[in-house]
Amino acid sequence: MTEAAELPPAPPTARTVFGERLPEAVRYAELLADAGVRRGLIGPREVPRLWERHLLNCAVLAEAVPEGVTVCDVGSGAGLPGIPLALVRPDLRITLLEPLLRRTTFLQEVVELLGLDHVAVVRGRAEEVLGSLPPVHVVTARAVAPLDRLAGWGVPLLRPYGEMLALKGDTAEEELKGARAALSKLGVVRTSVLHVGEGVVEPPSTVVRVEVGESPGGVRFAAKRAKAARAGRPSRNTRRRR
């Protein structure tokens, strides 16, 4: 059995980012390092770099999120980036969407313990909650899937003029280039690559922004296709192609 690594103290930049919510951020880091490891939500090797690689890397996403909007964190896992974002942005209404029970159980415990009244935890997959969750302004995701597949799950959850913000690594530009055809079919009208957290995280966090327009037809088609899949039958469009 691998011996649990020790959680380092919060770096000075953490106070700059989290401000008065730093005690809650420290408690969240402790939960990840303890229960998160024991329940298999993060690997023990991640504990020494929880602050730089995970909490701060996710919290700086706040720079790209508009004020007072609704957010759905798709495939939230252990709460990254949703929980750090919630700690620094109490103006947001955030839904943590996660299909696995052990993860949603952990997320609900964290939300209650940290007093995050503006955060809801929903168990399910993105394609399963279409129609039951109201469309949101922003979808966030981190380490969930390649961009083309991620967009197929996240874009249908957006309201008109909404945007998906996906935390990516060095391959962001290449991934975006390879996903352009799929994004176009989903009704995406604009894409860009952002770098957030200058002077806080090194290197800065890379974010792929995907924006939809007023009436994204691809979103409606994706929702229809997902609904048909849940019912166990192909959509009319799919049947026609056979």
How many other β-carbons are positioned within 10 Å of the β-carbon of residue 28? Answer: 27
pLDDT of residue 131: 86
Tens digit of each residue's pLDDT, the chain (242 residues): 345 579 999 999 999 999 999 999 999 999 999 999 999 999 999 999 999 999 999 999 999 999 999 999 999 999 999 999 999 999 999 999 999 999 999 999 999 999 999 999 999 999 999 889 999 999 999 988 999 999 999 999 999 999 999 999 888 999 999 999 999 999 999 999 999 999 999 999 999 999 999 855 454 554 555 555 555 544 434 333 33
Nearest in space to 54 (alpha carbons), one of 208, 154, 201: 201
pLDDT of residue 234: 47
Q: Are 110 and 26 in contact (CB under 8 A)?
A: no
pLDDT of residue 69: 98
Grouping H, G, I as helix, E, B as strand and the rest as coil, residue 206 is strand
pLDDT of residue 232: 57
pLDDT of residue 171: 87
Q: What is the pTM of this model?
A: 0.88
Beta bridge partners of 142: 167
How many other β-carbons are positioned within 10 Å of the β-carbon of residue 53? Answer: 13
Looking up tokens 């990516």, which residue turns up? Answer: 168
Q: Where are the alpha helices (DSSP H) in the chain?
A: 12-18, 22-31, 37-38, 56-59, 82-88, 101-114, 126-129, 147-154, 172-185, 217-230, 236-241
Helix (H) or strand (E) holding 130, with range, is none
pLDDT of residue 143: 80
Provide the 8-state DSSP code for 203.
Answer: S
